Structure 1
Amino acid sequence: MEGEEVLTGGNVAGRVVRVGATVRKPALPQTAAVEAVLEHLAEREFDGAPRTYGLDDEGRHVLEYVRGELAHAMPPSTLDELRRVGRLIRELHDTMETFEPPADVTWNVIVPDLAGGDLICHNDLAPWNLVRNDERWVFIDWDNAGPSSRLWDLGYAATAFLPFVAGGDPQVDGPRLRALVDGYGLDPEQRRALPAQIAARTRGQYDLLIRGHETCEQPWARLYDEGHADYWGPTAAYIAEHHDDWVAALVN
């Protein structure tokens, strides 16, 4: 199509392009499910997700192009910005509570919640999927949406947005985690449960990369070769090691 601008980033979909005020990406088995989620969010006036416009003549999924800058390309979030991210995730989860998934759709949840869950979540809430501008903060790339839980989804966001890194300082990371969680508004019981969920979700990402390396499944095998497991494995160990520090930061 004339006027297409190839967009970089993303690991699941193939060639993604911008055409005017829209993004076009290859339809996947889960695209119908993603459309249902985005339609639900639009109907309830949640502006933290792009609008969906169906399929074009080439069978590509057409989405709203959201102008702005990816949070991943910006300096680490301040405490106030972490609170705002927490509030945005809470609004998203609350809005999805009334979503009734269509019966015949396919989901693609790459790291399922170990305890199960029936809330349809984004499952990849991270700075590389958050577009920020002066008017809106918008989560993009919904291809991994599917059944999960509030804490599992928030746990991944915590690792990505703080960000947690191996060899970090709990005295620095604790207040940052507290800011995200305060923005979300977890109750005391959820605050005590969250650190274990963060560690398990982070470990799950590492295990995914190891399986990809062993089975040659893409894009995980390629991401393993690029060194991503070197981040997720040690980071999961750091989070688990300081479990009590995170509980203290969240509850005290």
Structure 2
Amino acid sequence: APETVQAVRQVLAAGGAPESLALPVATALGEGAADRLRADPWQLLHIAGVRPEQADGFARALLGAESRPDDERRGRAFTVWLLEQAALAGHTSLEAPALTAALAQRGVPDADAALQSALAEGEALVFQDALEEPGAPAPTPEADGDEEETGEERPVRVLVGLERYALAEESLADGLARLINSAPGEHGPAEGWERAAAAARGSAGELIRAVSGHGLVLHTGSEAARAEPARLLAGARALG
């Protein structure tokens, strides 16, 4: 709403921030954006392109002596910002030690407390990822039961991520699982696929055989590899 944008513009001006950020801030923070920004100036980090040092300067201008490096609001905002930056680089989660180390580098005095505060407020989520020991056999349901009986726990690494990326990855994993578990036989008789593979020959034939026997196939290669999916589609079209 125009009045929300105008109210945000006034807060930005009071903190010495560009008024051009008014619309992005109002969009990101929603209703009551001006009050939220005034109460927590580090919310400015929700806006793409804003750096931590800029948010610190904005907070000092608004809060004066109340703006401290150990402020919980600062620690939470920096935690979310670091996770956002990691996601932009292709990492939807960070190991907890790496995240706390990055917080310390950004001048957060108690990085562990900052992380715990972000988790407690629901601004980030924590996960445990079981580590595979070199040479150890793949875990089975029976083995998991044995671990519960003996009290032995598999080593894990603690990961921290943002909720929206976690939900997106979970949805993707569910979709891939359905593809992997789909029945290849539903997509045409095996004899037909084999004839198509034999006719294609070479790597294109190998791709056709792989697709005929698996619900999900990852195909990689350079420019020359582009012809192979075309042969696959032609074979699938011939099979109906």
TM-score greater than 0.5 by the shorter chain: no
Larger radius of gyration: 2
Normalised TM-score (structure 2): 0.31
Normalised TM-score (structure 1): 0.30
Higher helix fraction (1 or 2): 2
Which structure exhibits the higher relative contact order, with contacts defined as CA atoms closer than 8 Å and separated by 6 or more residues?
1
